[in-house]
């Protein structure tokens, strides 16, 4: 059996087993085992130790290998803490939420893996829709009214977005009318080979609809509102899954259509659209950070900011494009600890309101210090990964045809850092009324996982492993983006 079939069928079988049994410990054990095998195979494919052959509509190029590794790595760490998480008390009855937690997690991995490895627009669209259907019930894990509203809002907005993406795929098929691709299957590779023959009008329309539709899942403004509410209302492991994997799987679809447009006259148009979306996302975060009332939404908006930075790098190209790929890797790792800590603070203080959160460092020191370090990491302070990836992106923008964009981005980012820092430091150090409940949290699996990921991320950022650098170089070469 090929590696591609194994990493699709393994979580599918695991999901079915979890559905059949009713023991959380057993479900956790087999889910963790499945995640380890999935991560090992993904790493083997990424390093070249395993060479997967094309199976049905599934095939891996350099971009797919990178995104598969990011997915597998993030999923492993989140599964690792999941059993400890479902044992924690919540505000309302979540027995049914816990009952289907591991089954839905495995179905999510199946769908996301299929989306990353698909070589066909139709298969990709189906798999992306499956990711939505598998993860949405987990947003309602706590069974609170707020989570219910967030779940339905996300489902509605993303469903509309997926419908837009489907229209974009139809327009892509129309762009092939009168060419050798007319009536053929919607394989990425075939469209890339014959991109110059496609109708520019229909190709532009296709890109607009696919970009706008998938932006509801990526979190690109102004299509970000459903994603923000779902991420801030979901359990912290699921919120980290949103930020680290679900967003980039949707971004993959944009990169696929973007690559098709590279040899066409529509390429500059696509770059301008992506840059505009990226800058607007940073701007929206800039506005929000002036008046933060909900710290979990603050963390969610941080993801909007960084997806905006990634979009800016992709649209700029060259060195900035390479930096954006590094940023994707570091974003998936950095946000895990940030979301975990936000969830722990919420559990201890029973509030998401910033004004209710005081003295975190005194009352829950482990969580407080990791929250502070995670803030420095997402702010791009050295030696954390964002510092190195943002340096590449900003240098690429500076020496591009639009250097003025760097001034705009830097102004927004400086104020985001200042205002976000004011909120974080207020939560950590400010003295206030006793709103804290429970004992100080001891060092646990959440702290261990957060610290481990931050350490690994720093080591990757500082050493820049050859296998990662070469893979990103291969992707840049595929897109014609080598500086």
pLDDT in tens, 218-230: 999 899 888 999 9
HEC states along 348-381? HHCCCEHHHCCCHHHHCHHHHHHHHHHHHHHCCC
pLDDT score recorded for residue 205: 96
Binning pLDDT at 50, 70 and 90, where does residue 99 land? confident
What is each CA distance from 41 to 5, 6, 44, 109, 114, in whole angstroms? 11, 9, 5, 14, 15
How far, in Å, CA of 475 to CA of 191, rounded?
Answer: 17
Give the rounded distance of the alpha carbon of 438 from its chain centre: 33
pLDDT score recorded for residue 86: 84
% of residues, the chain, pLDDT over 70 = 96
Has residue 437 got a pLDDT over 60?
Answer: no
List the beta bridge partners of residue 120. 187
Q: How many CB atoms lie within 10 A of CB 48?
A: 11
Lowest-confidence segment of 31-40, 138-147, 415-424 by average pLDDT: 138-147
| pTM of the model as a whole | 0.95
pLDDT score recorded for residue 1: 64
Binning pLDDT at 50, 70 and 90, where does residue 430 land? confident
pLDDT tens digits, 320-368: 999 999 999 999 999 999 999 999 898 888 889 998 899 999 889 999 9
Give the rounded distance of the alpha carbon of 132 from its chain centre: 13
Which residues touch 24 (CB under 8 Å, ≥6 apart)?
83, 86, 98, 102
pLDDT tens digits, 117-142: 999 999 999 999 999 999 999 998 87
CA torsion, points 78, 81, 82, 88, in degrees to nearest 10?
A: -140
pLDDT score recorded for residue 52: 85
Has residue 397 got a pLDDT over 70?
Answer: yes
pLDDT score recorded for residue 51: 86
% of residues, the chain, pLDDT over 90 = 76
Lowest-confidence segment of 78-92, 200-214, 288-302, 432-446 by average pLDDT: 432-446
- Label residue 402 exposed, middle or buried (CB < 10 Å: 0-12, 13-18, 19+): middle
**pLDDT average, residue stretch 6-11:** 94
């Amino acid at each position: 059996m090929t590696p591609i079939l194994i990493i699709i069928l393994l979580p599918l079988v695991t999901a079915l087993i979890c559905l059949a049994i009713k023991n959380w410990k057993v479900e956790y054990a087999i889910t963790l085992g499945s995640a380890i095998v999935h991560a090992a195979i993904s790493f083997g494919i990424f390093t070249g130790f395993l060479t997967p052959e094309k199976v049905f509509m599934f095939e891996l190029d350099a971009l797919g290998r990178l995104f598969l590794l990011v997915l597998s790595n993030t999923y492993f760490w989140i599964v690792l803490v999941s059993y400890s998480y479902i044992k924690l008390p919540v505000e309302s009855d979540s027995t049914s939420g816990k009952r289907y937690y591991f089954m839905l997690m495995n179905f999510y991995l199946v769908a996301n893996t299929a989306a990353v490895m698909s070589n066909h627009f139709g298969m990709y669209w189906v798999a992306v829709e499956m990711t939505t259907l598998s993860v949405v019930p987990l947003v309602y894990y706590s069974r609170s009214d707020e989570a219910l509203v967030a779940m339905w809002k996300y489902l509605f907005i993303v469903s509309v977005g997926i419908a837009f993406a489907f229209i974009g795929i139809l327009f892509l098929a129309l762009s092939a009318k009168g060419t050798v691709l007319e009536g053929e299957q919607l394989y990425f590779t075939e469209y890339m080979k014959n991109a110059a023959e496609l109708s520019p009008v229909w190709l532009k329309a296709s890109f607009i609809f696919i970009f706008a539709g998938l932006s509801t899942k990526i979190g690109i403004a102004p299509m970000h509102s459903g994603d923000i509410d779902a991420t801030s209302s979901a359990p912290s492991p699921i919120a980290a899954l949103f930020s680290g994997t679900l967003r980039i799987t949707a971004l993959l679809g944009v990169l696929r259509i973007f690559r098709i447009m590279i040899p066409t006259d529509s390429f500059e148009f696509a770059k301008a659209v992506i840059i505009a979306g990226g800058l607007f996302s940073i701007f929206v975060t800039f506005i929000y950070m002036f008046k933060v009332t909900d710290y979990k939404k603050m963390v969610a908006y941080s993801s909007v900011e960084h997806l905006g930075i990634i979009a800016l790098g992709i649209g700029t190209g060259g060195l900035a494009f390479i930096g954006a790929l590094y940023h994707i890797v570091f974003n998936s790792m950095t946000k895990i600890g940030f979301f975990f800590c936000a969830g722990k603070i919420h559990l201890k203080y029973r509030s998401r309101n910033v004004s209710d959160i005081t003295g975190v460092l005194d009352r829950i020191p482990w969580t407080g210090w990791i929250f502070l370090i995670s803030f420095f990491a997402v702010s791009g302070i050295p030696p954390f990964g964002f510092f190195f990836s943002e340096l590449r992106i900003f240098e690429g923008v500076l020496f591009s045809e639009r250097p003025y964009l760097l001034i705009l981005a830097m102004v927004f980012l400086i104020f985001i850092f200042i205002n976000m820092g004011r909120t974080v430091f207020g939560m950590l150090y400010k003295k206030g009324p006793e709103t804290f409940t429970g004992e100080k949290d001891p060092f646990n699996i959440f702290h261990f996982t957060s610290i481990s990921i931050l350490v690994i991320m720093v080591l990757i950022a500082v050493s820049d492993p050859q296998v990662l650098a070469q893979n990103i170089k291969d992707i840049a070469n595929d897109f014609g983006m080598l500086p």
